[in-house]
Structures are given as structure tokens and as C-alpha cells.
Structure 1
């Protein structure tokens, strides 16, 4: 007589089920804030029937960490809600071949020169590519603003590999701009990070 025992308990959670790692969730669901939910990068609508959004209070918490060069970096699948004046950190990126952006831009699989006004958005704002090719308006504290095209994702979930030019995951509130964006805003590129606001143009 053969007795079959169930496999060790590693229950797979479905929508809104409890989770601690991405492996705890079934199908293409991922673990966000301790619950299984749709992956904004994949664009599935298994749980909500619409795009997964951060909680209404704008609370966007990390769902884990990635160790990189001896440091731990938070991983995010969400970003703060987009408003007519969304607070963000503007960072500097070289989208050209061999630049610190790593591989070609996700939206069009191309590299972009420093003279082009282009940006990458944090994973939550990139929204699985739905903002690709769209224009955003970025406004600096000095009152100057610029229009720039979304061409890439500033990956908030992965990093520290060749695809990401060895850089750690982006924070969840990043607008990663080209030289031309910084110059149009009259900002000092040596600063590397500047507080700005942005909105869809």
C-alpha cells in the first residue's frame, strides 16, 4: 500500500492572499505590501479588473530588498499617485549607447542622445509601458519647466546587473532625465538629484 503525503506547506496565494516573497503568489501575481496582486509591468488585471493602483492614501511601501555591493535597496512595484503637480526626484541619466542607462530604452529599443529631452519613470509611474512616448511636464524649484518624452523605465524592482549598468533599483519617485532636460531647467548637473514636480503634458 502506497501513501501519498502532500508536499511540504508552501501554499500559493491568489489575489489579495498573504505573501512574503514573490514565490508565495500564484501565476503572474506578485507580492505587494504583503498581499498578492497584479504585476504592473505585465499589465494583467487578474485581481482588480483594472490597473492595480497604490492604496488611495498614496501609501506606497517597498515589498522587499535587493542586496547590491554590500548594501540593501528597497524594491517597489508602486509609485505615489500622479497629480497635476506630482513631487519627484529628478536624477541625471545618459541614455546614449555606452551611457549609464545600460541597455537601449525599453519603450522603443533605441538609444537617445544627450541633446534629446527624454526621461525614464520609476516602475509604478512607468505603468507597464502605458506612458511610453507620452510627454510629461517637469517643473523645477526655480520656476522653469520643460516638456520631455517618456522612453524608458527607471526600474524600481531590479538592478545591480549589466542591463541596469550595475546600478541599484530606482526609488519609487524618480524622473530620470537626460542632459537636455537638466539644461532646459537651468539645473546644475553636478548635483545629481534635484526635487521637482511633474505631470502628464
Structure 2
């Protein structure tokens, strides 16, 4: 029996050692013990020719990073989000931050679950900015003119998804403000709509 050293959830990048998909970063897969591009998805993260940015990629200020396939569908992944301004356009979605809710695991900022009566949000990976916005307040404004202040407690992961940690949901788009029930209520919006256009800024 060959014993391999435990990677203990270490994330390997291109050509790094691996035993399964969980050992590889982003959209890389484990091929012959090394992390590499997924030929089925056609990623070029390790290759010398990165995929061209999607049309209008420059204008949006954030190009697609790769693709994650799950449930037979391919989803774009992003490491970045559009630039933050005094009125940043975003899509407001609804998240259940409580234990057992559709948010998956506990909030990444504090490792805790939160009540949906709290005015809290998760931000797309680029806006979450490596946890640098944790605990910060943002101002969200709906098209009906109503605004609310909400605290950043979690990341809406634009790179990973389709696993238990992410409640088996696909990766977030790069322009998501994922708000609690309380945020939707304060804005006078119906959460059953699922997604609405808003703007946000740092408070």
C-alpha cells in the first residue's frame, strides 16, 4: 500500500500535487497526480494562451476567469467584480444566512450563522476583496428610491460552487449583493422576485 502525505485541504495550483478535485485551485482538475486544465471545460489557466475576454470585457472592468461545470451546465467564474463607485450597479439576490439555510456554511467573516432579521449581505468575490470588506457597512439603493444600510458578513463565491459548502448552488455572478430578508423588507421589495437591479456604495 502506498501512503501519500495528507494534503489537509491544501490547494494546489498548476502542476501542483493532488489526489482529487478538492486539492486543486479554481477550475483545475487532478490529472495523473498533478493539477491541470480541465479538457472537458476547455480552461486555459495553466496553458500559455489564456481565453480571450468576453466581448465588452474591458468596458465592464472585469473579465471571466474560467468556467465551472456542474449539473450538466457550465457557469462562468470570476476573480474580480466591476469597479466600486458612488453608485455601483448590482443585482440584489436573497440569501438565508441562518443555519440550514440556502447560504450553505456559516458566514466567512465571523464563522457564524445569522438571523434573517439582521440587515446583512454577502458580496461577490471581487467586491468581497479577500475579506477586506468584512464588517463594513454598505448603502443599497433600490429603483423605487428606498435605501438601506447593511453589514457585509459573507462572500458570494464567484469562483466555487456546486458543493456542500455552497449549498450545491452554482458560482455567483460577479455583480451580486446577496441580501437577507431584512434587507429586502427595508427596501420594500418582494424577495419572491428573486433578483432585482440595485446600486450600492460604501457607507
Fold in common (TM above 0.5): yes
Residues 177 and 11 from structure 1, CA distance in 2 versus in 1: closer, same or farther, beyond 3 angstroms?
closer
Q: Which runs of 4+ in 1 moved over 2 A?
A: 19-25, 31-35, 55-59
| Unaligned ranges ≥5, structure 1 | 1-9, 13-18, 26-30, 36-54
* SS of aligned partner of 2:128: helix
- Superposed CA offset, 1:39-69 (max 9, x none): xxxxxxxxxxxxxxxx985431111110111
Query: How many Å separate the matches in 1 of 2:117 and 2:45?
Result: 39
1:49 paired residue number = none
Deviations 1:46-96 (A, max 9, x none): xxxxxxxxx985431111110111110000000000000000000000000
The partner residue of 1:68 within 70, 73, 91 is: 70
Residue matched to 1:6: none
SS in 2 for 1:129: coil
In the superposition, relative to structure 1, how do residues 22 and 142 fare at CA in structure 2: closer, same or farther (>3 Å)? same
2:100 and 2:44 map into 1 onto residues whose CA distance is 34
2:86 counterpart residue number = 84
Structure 2 unaligned residues grouped into runs of 5+? 1-13, 17-36, 38-42
Normalised TM-score (structure 2):
0.74
Alignment: residue pair count: 162
Say whether the 8 Å CA contact 1:32–1:77 is kept in structure 2.
Answer: no
TM-score (norm 1): 0.74
Matched residue SS, 2:76: strand
C-alpha RMSD of the superposition: 2.5
Q: 1:162 to 1:84 in 2, by over 3 A?
A: same
Please point out which of 126, 129, 136 is paired with 1:127: 129
- Tell me if structure 1 keeps the 8 A contact 2:44–2:51: no
